[in-house]
Structure 1
Amino acid sequence: MTPIKAVLFDHDGTLANSEVVHFQFWRDVLADRGVGFLEDDYRLHFTGVSELNTAIAIKTRFGLTDSVENLVAAKRAQAKQFHATQVYPLMPGVEEVLLALQGLGIRMAVVSGSARFALEANLTGLGLGQFFECIASGEEVANNKPAPDVYQQALTVMGLKADACIAVEDTASGLRAAVAAGIRTCVIPNDYSAHHDFSGASHRVENLLEFLLWFRRHCC
């Protein structure tokens, strides 16, 4: 087996406990248009779905007159207001895991479907930017997750082959993207994604600290 040189982390729901905040952004966008949006609806249908595809789906579902572009812009306005003063909280074990991987000489990247401004704002605000040599954003490739483009971009930037990497994901969409790029993937389901189909994963753990234990045993 090719030695693992890098861990490619998803951001939302993997490093950052942000799914509930993303729901709140969309809830507020829809409330401004007189539409109610339930958290369970978001959890079941939109966890791990890109902004663009979420906007397309909610426009159709709720019969909105806004353009898809206006809906995405409204959601991003919510996010920019949030990031001006706040950050998404970390998932448990993030700092310990990043420090441990850094100590092992493992290269790291963030590979996310989210907008770059949000990724950079959150990682900078949390003081985590130093750990990642690459931030690959889904808005900067032709096709967002579940397509492999954003993972392929990270591999190109880092000069790595897929079999030298492990991806860490929390959603079926992210898993499909990594697998399509030829990258072995460890999934960590959370409250928003526990119902997803993770049958294509190389491994499944309950949290990041468990991932670190698995990584030390099998990838070092």
Structure 2
Amino acid sequence: MKLPVAAVIFDMDGTLFDTEIVYYRAFQSALAQQNYDLTKETYFSQLAGTTNENIEQFLTRTLNAKFDCQQFSRDWPQFLQQFTLDDGIPFMPHIPHVLELLHKRDIPMAIASSSYLTDILDFTKRTGIHHYFQAVAAGDQVTSGKPSPDIYLLAAERLKVAPEACLAIEDSNHGVAAAHAAGMQVIMTANRIPPNAHSNKVSHISNNLTSSLTRLL
């Protein structure tokens, strides 16, 4: 039996912020300096929603000796910083309203993101939403990133809420798999990444996050 929802845990990129496309541009720009063209299809099917370590491992396997991992790890954060400073950090639809709605209902919130902790804190402070979250679990704080459940289990532990009583909000199939493996209910927002068969089976696919949350809370 599912427990009533006692806390909500958000992924960050593509869920709180419309930044997956910004990460794609940063990775694409960094790889272009190594004469590799990263397609959107490859990024969103293979790289979105997982950790930097997993991304580097995938690129190393794919490009073999042609890939300079150290150069890539230096270059893409510089592009990311440049793009977010130039263009800002846009919210995904409904997010400001959803955060205020949950805050007024005294529902604890956390972030479980594959991004590094420094990036999570930077983005949430620059957009003025850091005060909504009682806990953060970052990709550089777990041994195994999404689709492993570790990051969601860590977020639930820091909230002091049983995983089965947490509702996860995700935009990627890697993230849905991670939250489901942690024992959580999952909403997958219908953004840039189409749900795969597993996500369709185990998550609530949402075109309107406010409406979906209202039904589940």
Unaligned runs of 5+ in 1: none
Give the number of the structure whose residues are more often helix, by fraction: 2
Query: How far did 1:66 drift?
Result: 4.4
Matched with 1:194 is 194
What are the Cα deviations for residues 12-59 of structure 1, in whole angstroms up to 9, with x where unaligned? 111111111111111111111122222233233322232222222223
Residues 35-184 of structure 1: pairs in structure 2 closer than 5 A? 35-83=36-84, 87-184=88-185
What are the Cα deviations for residues 73-111 of structure 1, in whole angstroms up to 9, with x where unaligned? 332333344455654210011111111111111110111
**CA spacing shift, 1:73–1:206, aligned 2, 3 Å:** same
Query: How far did 1:60 drift?
Result: 2.7
After TM superposition, the structure 1 stretch with the greater mean CA deviation from structure 2, 126-135 or 203-212, is: 203-212
Amino acid at match of 1:148: P
State how far apart, in whole Å, the 2-side matches of 1:44 and 1:179 are.
19
Q: Which runs of 4+ in 1 moved over 6 A?
A: none
Query: How far did 1:67 drift?
Result: 4.8
State how far apart, in whole Å, the 1-side matches of 2:50 and 2:5 are.
28
After TM superposition, the structure 1 stretch with the greater mean CA deviation from structure 2, 86-95 or 126-135, is: 86-95
Structure 1 SS opposite 2:112: strand
CA contact (8 A) 2:163 2:183 kept: yes
State how far apart, in whole Å, the 1-side matches of 2:65 and 2:25 are.
18
CA contact (8 A) 2:34 2:67 kept: no
Amino acid at match of 1:164: A
State how far apart, in whole Å, the 2-side matches of 1:100 and 1:170 are.
20
Matched with 2:11 is 10
Structure 2 SS opposite 1:142: coil
CA contact (8 A) 1:52 1:72 kept: no
Amino acid at match of 1:78: F
Structure 2 SS opposite 1:199: helix
Structure 1 SS opposite 2:202: coil
After TM superposition, the structure 1 stretch with the greater mean CA deviation from structure 2, 153-162 or 83-92, is: 83-92
State how far apart, in whole Å, the 2-side matches of 1:52 and 1:137 are.
13
Structure 1 SS opposite 2:111: strand
State how far apart, in whole Å, the 2-side matches of 1:203 and 1:145 are.
19
Query: How far did 1:202 drift?
Result: 3.9
Taking only aligned residues, the RMSD between alpha carbons, in angstroms, comes to 2.0
Query: How far did 1:175 drift?
Result: 0.9
Query: How far did 1:125 drift?
Result: 0.9
Amino acid at match of 2:111: V
- Fraction of identical pairs, as percent: 27
Query: How far did 1:161 drift?
Result: 0.6
**CA spacing shift, 1:177–1:207, aligned 2, 3 Å:** same
Q: How many aligned positions are there?
A: 215
The two structures have a TM-score, normalised by structure 2, of 0.89
CA contact (8 A) 1:51 1:114 kept: yes
Structure 2 SS opposite 1:187: strand
Amino acid at match of 1:103: K
CA contact (8 A) 2:50 2:145 kept: no
**CA spacing shift, 1:63–1:202, aligned 2, 3 Å:** closer
Matched with 1:32 is 33
